[in-house]
Amino acid sequence: MTTRARAPKAPPIATDPVASARLAGLRYVGETGTGIHRRRAGRGFVYLNGHGPVRDVTTLARIRALVIPPAWREVWRRARAQAVPLPFALAPGA
């Protein structure tokens, strides 16, 4: 008779987003914090922070590199360059 080795115990699953981020080694940032919002302007978009339009070339390049679909509405992204580059948005029809 062969004895099977027991699998290591899985880490706990956190239902709280802050705790979940901490378990993954990340920092939780809610969508209500300081960030950059996108608003349609003519045939393109303007990106706004809490002080007005974003004009910094490096920041604009970082945002455009995310290639967020134009159909997404209410797009928000974290203002810090070190943040995980995940935009928060409502998809079409949402």
Q: For 7-50, how does the pLDDT look when each residue is reduced to its tens digit (9 = 90+)?
A: 777 666 667 878 877 887 877 776 666 778 888 889 888 988 88
Range of the domain at 40: 33-90
Residue 4 belongs to a domain = no
Is residue 63 domain-resident? yes
In a domain, 76, yes or no: yes
5 assigned to some structural domain: no
pLDDT band at 62 (very low <50, low <70, confident <90, very high): confident
Q: How many residues does the chain have?
A: 94
Instruction: Summarize the confidence of residues 51-77 as an average pLDDT.
Output: 83
Sign, Cα dihedral of 23, 24, 25, 29: negative
Domain count, the chain: 1
Tell me if 28 is assigned to some domain: no
What's the pTM? Answer: 0.56
Q: Which residues, in sequence order, are CB contacts of 7 under 8 Å at separation 6+?
A: none
